Homo-oligomer: A and B are copies of this chain.
Amino acid sequence: MRLLVLHGPNLSQLGTRDPTHYGTATLADAVAVVRAVHPDTDSAQYEDEGALVRRVHDARRDGTSAVICNAGALTHYSWALHDALELLEVPIVEVHLSQIHAREPFRHHSVVAPVADVSISGAGLVGYRLAAEAARALLGLESSSGEESSSGE
């Protein structure tokens, strides 16, 4: 079962700012975190909404079993990405490095969330490990006996 890690605009620049203040982790590191949990993992990063949409369409046919998606700023207005993800009938995990609910108001609303099974924000690179585990659980790969699905807030 293959995971696809999708990144949106500006995430290509991770790790390129002053390492003293911002750390040295890069997008490759983020993908490596996912691969450490689930080796069969593809990844892609695009600055273009259209390219993201096309990659999601491809995932409908290339054996992708689940998607981990950090759409960058497109998270907040790309209804085209929302529609593409809605068409894709595999589990989707939304992840953000920072706690988007504690930043500028425009980042408090996600148009990806309504079509994502799980949302994780604020855990930095660790969030990618959590996302990989969430994706695996959604695929039934590692739900332990005590973690049977449940309802409630």
A82 nearest in chain B by CB position:
B73
Given contacts A12-B57, A57-B12, contact A101 B114 (CB under 8 A): yes
Docked pose: A133 CA to B134 CA in angstroms: 12
Shortest Cβ distance from A38 into chain B, in angstroms?
14
A90 within 8 A of B: no
Copies of this protein chain in the complex: 12
Decide: A150 and B9 in contact? CB cutoff 8 A: no
Map CB proximity to B onto A86-122 as digits: 1 under 8 Å, 0 otherwise: 0100000000111111100011111101111111111
A75 within 8 A of B: yes
Contacting residue for A32 out of B60, B110, B146, CB 8 A: B146
